[in-house]
Amino acid sequence: MAIEKLSISKAINASLRTALETDPKVLIMGEDVGKLGGVFRVTDGLQKDFGEDRVIDTPLAESGIVGTAIGLALRGYRPVVEIQFDGFVFPAYDQIVTQLAKMHARALGKVKLPVVIRIPYGGAIGAVEHHSESPEALFAHVAGLKVVSPSNAADAYWMLQQAIQSDDPVIYFEPKRRYHDRAEVDTEAIPGPLHAARVVRQGTDLTLAAYGPMVKTCLEAAAAAEEEGKSLEVLDLRSISPIDFDSIQASVQRTRRLVVVHEAPVFFGSGGEIAARITERCFYHLEAPVLRVGGYHAPYPPSRLEDEYLPGLDRVLDAVDRALAY
Amino acid sequence: MAIEKLSISKAINASLRTALETDPKVLIMGEDVGKLGGVFRVTDGLQKDFGEDRVIDTPLAESGIVGTAIGLALRGYRPVVEIQFDGFVFPAYDQIVTQLAKMHARALGKVKLPVVIRIPYGGAIGAVEHHSESPEALFAHVAGLKVVSPSNAADAYWMLQQAIQSDDPVIYFEPKRRYHDRAEVDTEAIPGPLHAARVVRQGTDLTLAAYGPMVKTCLEAAAAAEEEGKSLEVLDLRSISPIDFDSIQASVQRTRRLVVVHEAPVFFGSGGEIAARITERCFYHLEAPVLRVGGYHAPYPPSRLEDEYLPGLDRVLDAVDRALAY
Amino acid sequence: MTVESTAPRKTRGGKRAGSRKPAGEPQLVQLLTPEGERVEHPDYAIDVTPEELRGLYRDMVLTRRFDGEATTLQRQGELGLWASLLGQEAAQIGSGRASRADDYVFPTYREHGVAWCRGVDPVNLLGMFRGVNNGGWDPNENNFHLYTIVIGSQALHATGYAMGVAKDGADSAVIAYFGDGASSQGDVAEAFTFSAVYNAPVVFFCQNNQWAISEPTEKQTRVPLYQRAQGYGFPGVRVDGNDVLACLAVTRAALDRARSGQGPMLIEAFTYRMGAHTTSDDPTRYRRDEERELWEAKDPILRLRRLLEREGHADEAFFAELEAESDALAKRVRDTVRTMPDPDRMAIFDNIYADGHALVDEEREQFAAYQASFADEESR
Amino acid sequence: MTVESTAPRKTRGGKRAGSRKPAGEPQLVQLLTPEGERVEHPDYAIDVTPEELRGLYRDMVLTRRFDGEATTLQRQGELGLWASLLGQEAAQIGSGRASRADDYVFPTYREHGVAWCRGVDPVNLLGMFRGVNNGGWDPNENNFHLYTIVIGSQALHATGYAMGVAKDGADSAVIAYFGDGASSQGDVAEAFTFSAVYNAPVVFFCQNNQWAISEPTEKQTRVPLYQRAQGYGFPGVRVDGNDVLACLAVTRAALDRARSGQGPMLIEAFTYRMGAHTTSDDPTRYRRDEERELWEAKDPILRLRRLLEREGHADEAFFAELEAESDALAKRVRDTVRTMPDPDRMAIFDNIYADGHALVDEEREQFAAYQASFADEESR
Ligand SMILES: Cc1ncc(C[n+]2csc(CCOP(=O)(O)OP(=O)(O)O)c2C)c(N)n1
Ligand SMILES: Cc1ncc(C[n+]2csc(CCOP(=O)(O)OP(=O)(O)O)c2C)c(N)n1
Ligand SMILES: [Mg+2]
Ligand SMILES: [Mg+2]
């Protein structure tokens, strides 16, 4: 059956399964991805069906995981690496930015690094420290990496397929707080380009741009705004490197106002990059400065404060009001 | 003698010496900082004068260096860590962003982390790979760290004094291509605040904002522009976290145009943050979008191409012309 | 002969991983058998008074009770998560009681028993699991550092701290805790290197509880972990981690050794995680009940109770009093946690920097104004 | 006795570091003495024909000549930097000649001799030092990976590659080079862990040349480095790194061992960096001339020449021909490098991604247009 209603986590599981089935070079690697099926059960059942040679429980060492994944890629494999939580990617950061991102260029194109790094990211799950971070900007700044984040099950399935098929390293950020959100996934549909944004709600007064977990928040904000007579367009960016500036520009040239929303801290976050570039492209179109809604310049707070810290409906609507007031 | 003409590297050396003399808790740590005096001779003579107990040649392991510096700070020391080159900081990235940056907050303020990490950064020295990078954005995005970069010998001396005296972790980026630039250093002057920008050239038509190695480039651009009758104001930002937005705003409200210049890649770089925030603050003042001049979304190229890659006089002037054309 | 050889595996590519053998009986330092009998070890003699024995017993019982209460509180929704030390009481109380007040301890997230020995109020341990803070005590009050979640990092902090102790000429020592899984992290290896090169007075205390979440120790090493130390130039020893006396004796010896300028040492406490990794975990997915049963027979508390009873070191009144003390502790924990207030929302902006940061100030103000706007609305 | 003990240092806080002792004579595998005499080793027998001996000699001589030429070219400004292998020829040629064509090699930045054995044109090694590229050869052409500058990283790549070899069921092996300094990096430790756990067919070849820039090996370890392996569950051996026959024999044995499914092994080649760290370095700041002189007496080329001469395996004609061949090589290197063109400026945007990236496309176009604007100006 090609169309199924799946949660995001199940869609990722299905996508990994498809990849393992169709390409013998695909490997799954990470901590607890085998028997346990990962702490979020995203790899559930895969080791049972594909064996320990292809679904590999690794030692507890993230640099080792990514470093050996690079070696496996050099040997012709296509490793899909799981980092257990956002906050645990940093021991692997050197291998990612210094080796994984640059080796294709260093080799003048003679070697390819088809490695996918899956990272469940973001907050709102009531977790302890290091389990709720949004570090995407720290990867997007680095040339040689591609960075994407799906917001729904269908994208989760297809964007992962495309990431695995890509000959470039792709950091695939999974919106963990949305793992249980269900949607129809057509596993036979021909997907659009991996790095294209998508208008998920049309509107005329202002554009909300978001990705990953914040897309749903923006859709809810747009619905709430509609009741107040405001027509908001919502753009699911889907890709953070590259960013589909053409689509944002096209939307902003219609709506003339833009608010960018992400969980990550605003300071040096994707909102700044988008604001700068869209202001340059749409200088005469913008009726208001591009506003940003995101995390504060603070460590992710203890979970009892996360509702206050995270951008939610109200803070999005507040920014919308401020933008519309210009 | 309080006033001396010093190169930037000598000024840093003098500042380290002052710190070692005045505070017995100050330590210097890093690879080759002892007998060799560092690969740039910045720590020249310090081990001879202060001993191996205070000027410490470490094993070749950056995570270990920063991790043990954290432990030493917890014991009451004030370690000043040298990372040999920009591209070698990433093995320590986890300790920096996960531990050093967050421990004060984690402890609800009960412990302090007065650790300075000195990183010679930037290109234009004809070096091999990993020796010419500008990773400041990757630190500025992270709350808990302060990030500064001097552009001249006097600032090099005083900003390092202030960084060492600060109870917060400070990443101190040294503009290695300017190490030999000399200027008068008054070691008895009372310095201004560490995180304040400074107008280093006044002008009326446009503001150039830069830090570290690009300040000199911007001053040269301003001199060249003057000959064409354009009056450019040059702002030395000095601090990258926090950024002195008030000073930028004040300048832009006068000049109504802003170009931000840095060596680091533009994509997700400091220029984006500045452009976004200044556009928000000065929306009705700006006659042109904030333009950014910086590195491309590419690995730092082999040295024979670095002149093409790096923002130089011409590219700054090109951006100035584009901004003035609005 | 210069080759230091170990029996190699004959298979390749991790194929062997499925066939996990039950843990054999390794050579380890033991002073108290599972049956509660005192035995001697040539290198680690220990003299303990009946009172000390009762004290160790009390520590373990109270720790276990506290731990159980925390698990219950998590189930009741009072905590977001709990990482139980069940089964590891001897390793933690034995090593914890070996340290002096002026020593410094760097724990992982599971050292509730060590915290108890250091004098940290157990209630304070719960803050981070409840989500009201990320570390709820002053590390310098009891020389007990904050819990560290990112695996292995604290081994370096401990090493650096110990380097500082040596610089100060103090005769204190430092102890770093970590798990079998953590032994794979580069940071732990770098800590070994730094501590050896600087001869730092630090003891590495690895609780090998056989599991790193779902991964058995075979996924981290193919030889016993205590052997790791040797290649870095300092001694390693494996101790029965369910034997509180052995843990006490070996840790005390290692700390004294460090104190006297002989440098680092690695202790592998061979023990077992009786419960789930955390309350979020489901161990039935990856391990067999029989394994747990095997280890139940080696219970650390039971064996000390047997000794106390056999030797007549404790009477019924002692056990009854301890039961009452346990109940009181549990009640206090329960009551305090249930009323533990959420932090003020403005705390988001506190303690990010010691010396302030303009952006934090700006965001704090904006946040306050934003919050005030709701108050205004409501009051309208 | 469960403690694996090593003699501890009696001082603390790194105070001992100043009193560096001259390198003692460690126990090491040697098959050819500095005086050029063949000796036997119980574990590492080797049978080499006179032709093979001449071949090894030729490799070392040509490598040294190439290396010297590169140093000269750097002084003349043709290269931005050069990292000389002077003194390490035996370690590199011995180990390099031990690998088979289907084996895979992961070098640091100093393995010019290994590159030579693998069939990489030495001229291609110079590109990155001249600054015209960051890696000037196709790694898969000779199964010789690119030079890796960030210390220790390649140990993990080699391990992963070896895991892949094992998965493929191939009987190839992998060899990772690194230095004494690199042994401190967490990545190298993690490579030890992964290779042991997966029993990967990888040989770790550590050239202990006594220095990591200005830091002597004592700053990285207090016991011989080959011992590091044991704690990870695989053998380590120290070999005379200036003895090309011993390096050949030991590396061949280790690769065969890996090939046959017995997993990783660590070889510490005890050698000496006769020159500066790189042409940017000034070793007079940190080491005494006498040390160098001591090692000069152990020169790897000289001792093989002595053997060849004593045994009559090579005549004057051979040496004369080799001299001529050296000159020719030097001339070819010189001529080729001097005319090595700068890359096209548009190469900045090449090969960043295999599948393209919108921003790179955009920036490439902008850059081209910007460049064209100068051309326009000039042509006006
Ligand atoms: C760097 C890092 N990676 C992954 C995790 C997730 N994680 C938390 S505990 C754990 C297992 C730790 O095992 P071990 O070291 O044996 O300690 P134990 O939990 O058994 O006490 C893992 C993988 C983490 N906290 N930090
Ligand atoms: C991660 C990292 N830190 C620092 C450096 C700078 N550096 C280059 S070579 C070197 C010393 C390496 O010593 P060793 O491993 O013994 O190799 P050798 O140069 O002696 O061959 C250092 C510190 C680097 N390249 N990478
Ligand atoms: Mg464990
Ligand atoms: Mg070396």
Instruction: Report how far residue C247's alpha carbon sits from residue C254's, in angstroms, rounded to the nearest whole number.
Output: 10
Q: Domain of C178: which CATH number?
A: 3.40.50.970
Instruction: Say whether both D365 and D333 belong to one domain.
Output: no
pLDDT in tens, A145-201: 999 999 999 999 999 999 999 999 999 999 999 999 999 999 999 899 999 999 999
Residue type, B325: A
Q: What is the largest CA-CA distance in chain A?
A: 60
Is residue C211 within 8 Å of residue C271, measured between CB atoms? no
Instruction: Say whether both C304 and C219 belong to one domain.
Output: yes
Share of chain C above pLDDT 70, in %: 92
Report if residue A259 sits inside a domain.
Answer: yes
Q: Which pair of tokens denotes residue C180?
A: 């079998």
* Boundary-marking domain end, from A186, A207, A237: A186
Instruction: Say whether both D305 and D334 belong to one domain.
Output: yes
Instruction: Say whether both D144 and D70 belong to one domain.
Output: yes
Q: Which pair of tokens denotes residue C257?
A: 């050794």
D358 C-alpha to ligand 3 centroid (Å): 45
Is the CB of D191 within 6 Å of ligand 2?
no
Please determine, for residue A115, whether its predicted confidence score (pLDDT) is greater than 50.
yes
Instruction: Say whether both A232 and A295 belong to one domain.
Output: yes
Q: Which atom of ligand 1 is nearest the CA belonging to C183?
A: 15
Report if residue B191 sits inside a domain.
Answer: no
Dihedral through CA A162, CA A164, CA A169, CA A174, nearest 10? 80
pLDDT in tens, B262-299: 999 999 999 999 999 999 999 999 999 999 999 999 99
Specify the residue with its C-alpha closest to ligand 2, atom 4: B88
* Boundary-marking domain end, from B186, B215, B250: B186
Residue type, A301: P
- In the block, tokens 């930097």 appear at D81
Q: Is B89 helix (H, G, I), strand (E, B) or coil?
A: coil
pLDDT at C375: 79
Report if residue B8 sits inside a domain.
Answer: yes
Angle at CA of residue B321, ends B316 and B324, nearest 5°: 125
Ligand 1 pocket test: which of C208, C213, C279 has the largest number of ligand atoms within 8 Å of its C-beta?
C213
CB contact under 8 A, C165 and B75: yes
Report if residue D30 sits inside a domain.
Answer: no
CB contact under 8 A, A297 and C130: no
- In the block, tokens 């973001």 appear at A122
Instruction: Say whether both A134 and A113 belong to one domain.
Output: yes
Instruction: Say whether both B151 and B217 belong to one domain.
Output: no
Confidence of residue A2 (pLDDT cuts 50, 70, 90): confident
pLDDT in tens, A9-65: 999 999 999 999 999 999 999 999 999 999 999 999 999 999 999 999 999 999 999
D179 C-alpha to ligand 4 centroid (Å): 5
CA distances from B106 to B99, B110, C31, C127, C229 (A): 9, 9, 39, 11, 31
Instruction: Report how far residue C301's alpha carbon sits from residue C88's, in angstroms, rounded to the nearest whole number.
Output: 10
pLDDT at A313: 96
pLDDT one digit per residue (tens) for chain B, 326 residues: 589 999 999 999 999 999 999 999 999 999 999 999 999 999 999 999 999 999 999 999 999 999 999 999 999 999 999 999 999 999 999 999 999 999 999 999 999 999 999 999 999 999 999 999 999 999 999 999 999 999 999 999 999 999 999 999 999 999 999 999 999 999 999 899 999 999 999 999 999 999 999 999 999 999 999 999 999 999 999 999 999 999 999 999 999 999 999 999 999 999 999 999 999 999 999 999 999 999 999 999 999 999 999 999 999 999 999 999 99
Strand pairing report for B182-186 and B232-236 = unpaired
Nearest to A89 by CA among A146, A133, A151: A133
Report if residue D6 sits inside a domain.
Answer: no
Q: Which pair of tokens denotes residue A115?
A: 């490695």
Q: Which pair of tokens denotes residue A229?
A: 């007579």
Half-sphere exposure of A123 (CA within 13 A, CB side): 29
Give the global pTM. 0.96
Instruction: Say whether both A174 and A228 belong to one domain.
Output: no
pLDDT in tens, C153-208: 999 999 999 999 999 999 999 999 999 999 999 999 999 999 999 999 999 999 99
Instruction: Say whether both B73 and B100 belong to one domain.
Output: yes
Report if residue A34 sits inside a domain.
Answer: yes
Instruction: Say whether both A214 and A272 belong to one domain.
Output: yes
pLDDT at C26: 55
Instruction: Report how far residue B294's alpha carbon sits from residue B315's, in angstroms, rounded to the nearest whole number.
Output: 9
Q: C133 touching B, CB under 8 A?
A: yes
Report if residue B238 sits inside a domain.
Answer: yes
- DSSP structure class, residue C144: B
Nearest residue in chain A measured CA to CA from C214:
A32
Q: Which atom of ligand 1 is nearest the CA belonging to A60?
A: 23
Interface of C with A in 301-340 (CB under 8 A): none
Report if residue D178 sits inside a domain.
Answer: yes
pLDDT in tens, A220-253: 999 999 999 999 999 999 999 999 999 999 999 9
Report if residue D148 sits inside a domain.
Answer: yes
Report if residue B266 sits inside a domain.
Answer: yes
Q: Which pair of tokens denotes residue B260?
A: 């931000």
pLDDT at B33: 98
Report if residue C235 sits inside a domain.
Answer: yes
Dihedral through CA A275, CA A281, CA A284, CA A290, nearest 10? -10
Q: Give how many domains chain B has, as a whole number.
A: 2
pLDDT at B1: 53
Q: How many residues does chain A have?
A: 326
pLDDT in tens, B199-247: 999 999 999 999 999 999 999 999 999 999 999 999 999 999 999 999 9
pLDDT in tens, C14-37: 333 333 333 444 589 999 999 999
Is the CB of D179 within 6 Å of ligand 2?
yes
Report if residue B193 sits inside a domain.
Answer: no
Instruction: Say whether both B182 and B206 belong to one domain.
Output: no
**Domain span at C181:** 50-339
CA distances from C245 to C32, C57, C112, C206, D290 (A): 7, 11, 18, 17, 54
Instruction: Say whether both D259 and D360 belong to one domain.
Output: no
Instruction: Say whether both A281 and A151 belong to one domain.
Output: no
Q: C160 touching B, CB under 8 A?
A: yes
Instruction: Say whether both A31 and A173 belong to one domain.
Output: yes
Q: How many CB atoms lie within 10 A of CB A21?
A: 11
Instruction: Say whether both D122 and D218 belong to one domain.
Output: yes
**Domain span at B292:** 198-324
Q: Domain of A179: which CATH number?
A: 3.40.50.970
Instruction: Report how far residue D79's alpha carbon sits from residue C358's, in angstroms, rounded to the nearest whole number.
Output: 46
Spell out the alpha helix ranges (H) of chain B: 8-22, 46-50, 62-74, 93-94, 103-106, 137-140, 153-165, 214-227, 245-255, 270-281, 306-309, 313-324
Instruction: Say whether both C326 and C369 belong to one domain.
Output: no
CB contact under 8 A, D149 and B37: no
Buried/exposed code over A181-203 (b: 16+ C-beta within 10 A; e: otherwise): bebebebeeeeeebbbbbebbeb
- Is the preceding peptide bond at A242 cis, omega within 30 degrees of 0? yes
Residue type, C160: G
Instruction: Say whether both A145 and A25 belong to one domain.
Output: yes
Instruction: Report how far residue A273's alpha carbon sits from residue A256's, in angstroms, rounded to the nearest whole number.
Output: 18
Nearest to A271 by CA among A259, A254, A256: A259
Please determine, for residue C57, whether its predicted confidence score (pLDDT) is greater than 90.
yes
Is residue B59 within 8 Å of residue D184, measured between CB atoms? yes
Please determine, for residue D21, whether its predicted confidence score (pLDDT) is greater than 70.
no
Task: Report the residue of B41, B46, B57 to disrupt the D interface, i.e. the one with the largest count of D CBs within 10 Å.
Answer: B57
Q: What is the mean pLDDT of residues C217-221?
A: 98
Which ligand lies nearest to the CA atom of residue B64 in the structure? 2
Instruction: Report how far residue B62's alpha carbon sits from residue B70's, in angstroms, rounded to the nearest whole number.
Output: 12
Please determine, for residue C317, whether its predicted confidence score (pLDDT) is greater than 60.
yes
DSSP-derived secondary structure for C210-271: SEETTEEGGGT-SS-GGGGGGGGTS-EEEEETT-HHHHHHHHHHHHHHIIIII--EEEEEE-
Q: Domain of B239: which CATH number?
A: 3.40.50.920
Dihedral through CA D304, CA D305, CA D307, CA D312, nearest 10? 140
Spell out the residues 6+ positions from residue C190 whose beta carbon is closer than 8 angstroms to its own: B59, B61, B63, B64, B67, C156, D184, D185, D186, D189
Is the CB of D274 within 6 Å of ligand 2?
no
Instruction: Report how far residue B178's alpha carbon sits from residue B194's, in angstroms, rounded to the nearest whole number.
Output: 20
Q: A270 touching D, CB under 8 A?
A: no
Q: Is C163 helix (H, G, I), strand (E, B) or coil?
A: helix
Instruction: Say whether both D268 and D355 belong to one domain.
Output: no
Report if residue C18 sits inside a domain.
Answer: no
Task: Report the residue of A65, A86, A95, A297 to disrupt the C interface, i.e. the one with the largest count of C CBs within 10 Å.
Answer: A297
CB contact under 8 A, D139 and A63: no
Is the CB of D118 within 6 Å of ligand 2?
no
Question: ipTM of this model?
Answer: 0.97
Instruction: Report how far residue B326's alpha carbon sits from residue C10's, in angstroms, rounded to the nearest whole number.
Output: 73
Instruction: Say whether both B169 and B234 belong to one domain.
Output: no
Burial of B22 (0-12, 13-18, 19+ CB in 10 A): exposed
Burial of C124 (0-12, 13-18, 19+ CB in 10 A): middle
Instruction: Report how far residue C292's alpha carbon sits from residue C280's, in angstroms, rounded to the nearest whole number.
Output: 19
Q: What phi and psi values does residue A47 have, to the nearest 5 degrees?
A: -65, -40
Instruction: Say whether both D141 and D114 belong to one domain.
Output: yes
Instruction: Say whether both A141 and A238 belong to one domain.
Output: no
Instruction: Report how far residue B58's alpha carbon sits from residue B68's, in angstroms, rounded to the nearest whole number.
Output: 10
Q: From chain B, which residues contact A within 8 Å (Cβ)?
A: 87, 90-91, 93-94, 97-98, 101-102, 105-106, 129-130, 137-138, 140-141, 143-144, 241, 265, 267-273, 275-277, 279-280, 283, 288-292, 296-299, 326
Burial of C101 (0-12, 13-18, 19+ CB in 10 A): exposed
Report if residue D243 sits inside a domain.
Answer: yes
Confidence of residue C378 (pLDDT cuts 50, 70, 90): low
Instruction: Say whether both D236 and D356 belong to one domain.
Output: no
Instruction: Report how far residue B305's alpha carbon sits from residue B127's, in angstroms, rounded to the nearest whole number.
Output: 11
Instruction: Say whether both C365 and C329 belong to one domain.
Output: no
Instruction: Say whether both D371 and D311 belong to one domain.
Output: no
- In the block, tokens 């640059």 appear at A102
CA distances from C89 to B153, C106, C154 (A): 58, 17, 21
B141 is a catalytic site residue:
no
Please determine, for residue C130, whether its predicted confidence score (pLDDT) is greater than 90.
yes
Annotate C16-28 with three-state secondary structure. Answer: HHHCCCCCCCCCC
Nearest to D103 by CA among D235, D188, D201, D244: D201
